[in-house]
Amino acid sequence: MRLTPDAHDPEPPPFLGTWGRVYTVVLVWLAVLIALLYAFTRYFA
């Protein structure tokens, strides 16, 4: 039942080309969400 360690997995993401770009888009998405939620808070306060 010992597992064989996976070989180095160079598989790129299915979009945006590199994982670095995917991570950047996720962090930008978070920044946009926070900005929208802040605007939402201010607008309806």
Partner 1 sequence: MSTLDWVIMVFTMLAIPGYGLWRSRGTSTVNDYLLAGKTMPWYAMGLSIMATQASAVTFIATTGQSFVDGMRFVQFYFGLPIAMVILAATAVPIFHRSGVYTAYEYLEKRFDAKTRALASVVFLLQRGLAVGVSLYAPAIVMSVIFGWNDRLTTLVIGIICVIYTTKGGIPAVTWTDVVQMTVIFAGLILGLFTVISLLPADLGFGGAVYLAGAVGKLNAVDLKLDWNNRYNLWSGLLGGTFLALGYFGCDQSQVQRYLTGKSVAQSRLGLIFNAVAKVPMQFFILFVGAMVFVFYLFTPPPMLFQRDAMNTISKRPEYSQTQKQFDTAWEHRKQAALALGIARKADDSSQVNAAVSHYREAEKEVTAARLAGVRLYEKAEGKPGFNDTNYVFLTFVTKFFPVGVVGLVIAVIFTAAMSSSSGELNALATVTVIDIYRRHFRPDASDRHYLFASRVFTALWGAWAVVFAQYAKNLGSLVEAVNMVGSYFYPVLLGVFVLAFFFRNVRGSAAFWGMVTGEAAVVLCALFTNIAFLWYNVIGTIVVVLSGVFLSQFENRPVQSPPEPALQA
29 binds partner 1 (CB under 8 A): yes
Q: Percentage helix, strand, coil, to 5, in the chain?
A: 60, 0, 40
Give the Cα-Cα-Cα angle 15, 21, 27 (nearest 5 degrees): 115
12 binds partner 1 (CB under 8 A): yes
32 binds partner 1 (CB under 8 A): no
Closest CA to 39 of 31, 19, 20, 17: 31
16 binds partner 1 (CB under 8 A): no
Contact positions vs partner 1 (CB under 8 A): 1-9, 11-14, 18-20, 22-23, 26-27, 29-30, 33-34, 37-38, 40-41, 43-45
